[in-house]
Chains A and B, each alone.
Chain A
Amino acid sequence: DVKVTQSSRYLVKRTGEKVFLECVQDMDHENMFWYRQDPGLGLRLIYFSYDVKMKEKGDIPEGYSVSREKKERFSLILESASTNQTSMYLCASSGAGVRDTQYFGPGTRLTVL
């Protein structure tokens, strides 16, 4: 079974703090993704990575950066957290094929005060 884990289920941070969200997958997948999910807006892609040290912007990259130093780990960084970044953050991974299924982690509910 594919397993995608995220470092925290719930996180509370203050405005201006630097926030790290970690994601690890155990299926040797090439592709990894970060989404955010908000009521009424659905899932929106922030960034994805198709290889170690490679990244591409998604639909809403502003205010975020990512890091992929190892194949199994993909980090999302909020350089200076703001209240409008309060959201559910979901990590996913998939194989190298364009049609490969994306498997999701349990999510991190981030609240920025």
Chain B
Amino acid sequence: EDQVTQSPEALRLQEGESSSLNCSYTVSGLRGLFWYRQDPGKGPEFLFTLYSAGEEKEKERLKATLTKKESFLHITAPKPEDSATYLCAVQADSNSGYALNFGKGTSLLVTP
């Protein structure tokens, strides 16, 4: 059965303290791995898509990387406005049609 596990569940950082969020997956045939940001009470906002091992994408203070078993979301010198829940989702050959399997998310709090 396909599984997506995110760790840690929650992370508290001081402003400027860099760290990484992890998304490990076991799927049969990865089509794509997606990262989203979700603010409280709002819908997920798309950040990145990664398709193959070794791929990296960057946006401002965020950098996403992908291996054959996991993806990391690196946050460099975070600011309080980076506080949110970060969701990882995978699309696999075993998914019916276009479905995504989501992890449960990492709740990030960045304090001044």
Contact = CB atoms under 8 A, between A and B. Distances in A.
Contacts of A42: 87, 102-105
B22 interface: no
A99 B49 contact: yes
Interface residues of B, number: 24
Contacts of B49: 99, 101
A101 B34 contact: yes
A95 to B, nearest CB: 10
Contact of B98 (A4, A48, A90, A104): A48
A102 B34 contact: yes
Contact of B102 (A40, A43, A48, A105): A43
A16 interface: no
B45 interface: yes
A101 B43 contact: no
A58 B44 contact: no
Given A33-B99, A56-B96, 18 more contacts: A4-B43, A31-B98, A42-B87, A42-B103, A42-B104, A42-B105, A43-B89, A44-B102, A48-B98, A50-B98, A58-B96, A58-B99, A59-B99, A99-B51, A100-B98, A101-B46, A104-B36, A104-B44
Interface of A: 4, 31, 33, 40-45, 48, 50, 56, 58-59, 90, 94, 98-107, 109
